[in-house]
Structure 1
Amino acid sequence: MNHRKFPALPSALRTPPVWLVPGLVVAIVAGLLWFSFGVGPGGPQGSIGLGAQSTDESRQTGGEHADTSDLESAKSEDDEKGTKSGTEPPAAEPTSSTTSPALERSVRRFQAAQRRLAERVNQQLERRTQPFSFRVATFNVLGDSHTGPGGNKPGFPDGSPRMDMAISALRSSGIDVVGFQEFEASQYNMFTARAGEYSLYPGLAMGDKSVRFNIAWRSSMFRMVDAHTLSIPYAGGSRIEMPVVLLESISTGRRAWFANFHNPADTPNLGNNGRWRAEAAAIEVSHLTALHQEQGIPVIATGDYNEREEIFCRFTAGGVFSAAAGGSSAGGCAPPSGMQVDWIFGSTGVQFDSYAVSGVGKASDHNMVHSGATLLPAG
């Protein structure tokens, strides 16, 4: 799968503005009319009036409809003069009533096709602006190396049965999009072999480090439109590429960006990484805020941030993001109660409901955090 790396900001992937669609329809209609009838503004009969006066008629009347009583009076005078002189009244100029029946039928067929096209375009626009709901999760699945030989979690089963439990948790909670952390190559292979209903990015394409941060989505619900990675400082400041994907609803065409991160923890082996967590959060918030404001597309971020109050305040300070767990940034930072280190954040345009923290037994040393998410009607 192709991917692109964006260390700062991605190249704009813009949804075509709604105002372009009518112009496109008009261009298509004009082309079809010219091709079908060989007529146009410079054609032999001038433009074909579809419910409007011709240019010549407009010039003759000064752009306004003549009073019908005046027209009738003038016609009576002409008829009377013609009778007195013994001559016939002049022949009427050809009008739309004297056009060929075949041309009239073609025009009617064309108008019907035009109406059907406009109806289809309106239906597509309506689908692309209506609310769309799904369920999103963040899930640190505990790396296979932690429970294998020599691992530091001897009380847990090895990776294979734990992956079965993780997949069961996803299915039972109806998860449509999930950001994984500690998702090692062996677990990636297990997941793709046993949970074929999901697609993933970046897969194994970027090696054993970046595979740990895969985003998975239900293939029957979403398709991937674009993707890139963001270079994030991990333990000791070493950089790792983490994924950002643009997904589109197959049924509605609604789009959202999804990002997934794992910021470094403080451990005896890794040391104190507060500096790198702060730098990582600054990169993540800045990039996703710019992505949302530049394109107007909703953004959802999942991750194990290894922080509670600090990461909540960093994400919500700008007024763009809110947390699925609740809390408020109005008038200061007021984080929710019962915070996890695993978070789901959404930009404006995203509404969360039914937030849950589900235990997964021995599948992992983390709970699975998940929430309903709705892309609100697009303005």
Structure 2
Amino acid sequence: MKHKHPPTTSGPRRPRVELWAPALVLAVIAAVVWASFFSDAVVEDTASDRTGAAQEAGQTTGGAGDDAQDGEGGGSGGSGEGSGGSSSEGAEPEHAEPEELEESVRRFRAAQRKLAARVSQQLARRTQPFEFRVASYNVLGDSHTGPGGNKPGFPDGSPRMDMAIAALRSNGIDVVGFQEFEQSQYGMFSSRAGEYSLYPGMSLGNKSVRFNIAWRSSVWRFVEGRSLSIPYAGGSRIAMPVVLLESISTGRRAWFANFHNPADTPSLGNNARWRAEAASLEVSYLTELHQSTGHPVIATGDYNEREEIFCRFTAGGVFTAAAGGSSAGGCAPPPRMEVDWIFGSTGVAFADYAATDTGWASDHRLIHSTATLTGVE
């Protein structure tokens, strides 16, 4: 019986490439190394040749120069002129660069001096005292003197507005805070007193129009407008204006706020609670505004209080009243008080306070004073 031999196993047959590839790689590496050494040697030899050639050229030039010096004077002079001309032409840019630099420095310093002078002038303008006339005026709302109004003895709104504008002009008022300045009166004033600008106008609605602030456009320019929600009769909230103005002549800035706190009347009831809340909001907001921005603050308004509102505004030592009085050592109100007030923060000084009767224009007097922005903002 024949036995079958198990088949012999051998690995896969390698291609010939695998056998001679390593040798080829070694040969290539050796060639690269040899070539790198050879190229370095060539570069060094070339550099040496160039250096030698340059030295020989220098010697040849020197010899030529010696020959020229041994020649006739004319030849020597010509060579000297040529050499001198070439030397001066090459030197001109070197001398020109410092001159250009000096000119640039001179211009830069001149610009610096102009800028410093301009900044100094602006600082001088912004730190010098600025004087103007400020007022608070309840103009008696048109609805009070119209049909069905509670002030039947007064003329209607149109002639009264003419009287009010005349009072502002005759007293040289630059900024005024109005109360009871209804939409119809806003329209009359805007069309008849074109020298004044107003904020908020009608932008905050029919209720807030009653508290517009007006300023003489030739004296002040508008910077920023805000509003503060104040509780009125029964606690209903009304937005009242706060505006930042800038003096056109000096650049000095000041905030102006205008308020009307609710009165006690048969129709509105007792509003002492809401007046107290309103005053607290007004004083705290304006104090923070003054401290955070650094600008003086002036508040005008019909506060429907006398001693109470004076003590509330001046208790913190930040505000004083144009009417006078003192808060040092306790609340000491001025001897003459209206329900209409002008208060100013630190940085504001008052003089020439007056309460002027404007006849049939309103049932309130025009409260006005000279205000001066003092100190540095």
Same fold (TM over 0.5): yes
Structure 1: distance between partners of 2:105 and 2:358: 66
Q: Deviations over 1:42-92 (max 9, x none)?
A: xxxxxxxxxxxxxxxxxxxxxxxxxxxxxxxxxxxxxxxxxxxxxxxxxxx
Structure 1: distance between partners of 2:207 and 2:275: 18
Superposition pairs of residues 117-136 of structure 1, within 5 angstroms: 117-136=115-134
Structure showing greater Rg = 2
Q: Deviations over 1:268-298 (max 9, x none)?
A: 0000000000000000000000111111110
Per the alignment, residue 217 of structure 1 pairs with 215
Q: Structure 1 residue 157: deviation in Å? A: 0.3
Structure 1: distance between partners of 2:370 and 2:294: 21
Q: Deviations over 1:272-328 (max 9, x none)?
A: 000000000000000000111111110000000000000000000000000000000
- Structure 2 stretches of 5 or more lacking a match? 1-93
Per the alignment, residue 345 of structure 1 pairs with 343
Q: Deviations over 1:317-360 (max 9, x none)?
A: 00000000000000000000110000000000000000011000
- Of the three residues 330, 333, 347, the one matched with 1:332 is 330
Structure 2: distance between partners of 1:132 and 1:196: 24
Q: Structure 1 residue 98: deviation in Å? A: 8.6
Q: Deviations over 1:221-244 (max 9, x none)?
A: 111111110000000000000000
Q: Structure 1 residue 100: deviation in Å? A: 2.9
Corresponding residue SS for 1:100: helix
Per the alignment, residue 198 of structure 2 pairs with 200
Per the alignment, residue 246 of structure 1 pairs with 244
Matched, 1:137 2:135: yes
Q: Which has the higher contact order (CA 8 A, sep 6+)?
A: 1
Per the alignment, residue 258 of structure 2 pairs with 260
Q: Structure 1 residue 99: deviation in Å? A: 5.3
Corresponding residue SS for 1:208: coil
Per the alignment, residue 362 of structure 1 pairs with 360
**Counterpart residue type for residue 315 of structure 1:** F
Matched, 1:150 2:148: yes
Taking only aligned residues, the RMSD between alpha carbons, in angstroms, comes to: 1.3
Per the alignment, residue 42 of structure 1 pairs with none
Structure 2: distance between partners of 1:110 and 1:327: 56
Per the alignment, residue 107 of structure 1 pairs with 105
Q: Structure 1 residue 207: deviation in Å? A: 1.3
**Counterpart residue type for residue 363 of structure 2:** D
- Of the three residues 299, 307, 310, the one matched with 2:305 is 307
**Counterpart residue type for residue 155 of structure 2:** P
- Of the three residues 163, 175, 187, the one matched with 2:173 is 175
**Counterpart residue type for residue 336 of structure 1:** P
**Counterpart residue type for residue 314 of structure 1:** R
- Of the three residues 250, 256, 274, the one matched with 2:272 is 274
Q: Structure 1 residue 97: deviation in Å? A: 9.2
Structure 2: distance between partners of 1:287 and 1:169: 31
Which structure: greater helix fraction? 2
Structure 1: distance between partners of 2:229 and 2:100: 66
**TM-score, normalisation: structure 2:** 0.74
Structure 2: distance between partners of 1:174 and 1:198: 12
**Counterpart residue type for residue 321 of structure 1:** F
Q: Structure 1 residue 108: deviation in Å? A: 1.2
**Counterpart residue type for residue 348 of structure 1:** T
**4+ aligned runs moved over 2 Å, structure 1:** 96-103
- Structure 1 stretches of 5 or more lacking a match? 1-95
Structure 2: distance between partners of 1:212 and 1:294: 28
Structure 2: distance between partners of 1:296 and 1:101: 48
Q: Structure 1 residue 377: deviation in Å? A: 2.1
Structure 2: distance between partners of 1:244 and 1:175: 18
Structure 2: distance between partners of 1:100 and 1:273: 81
Structure 2: distance between partners of 1:224 and 1:126: 22
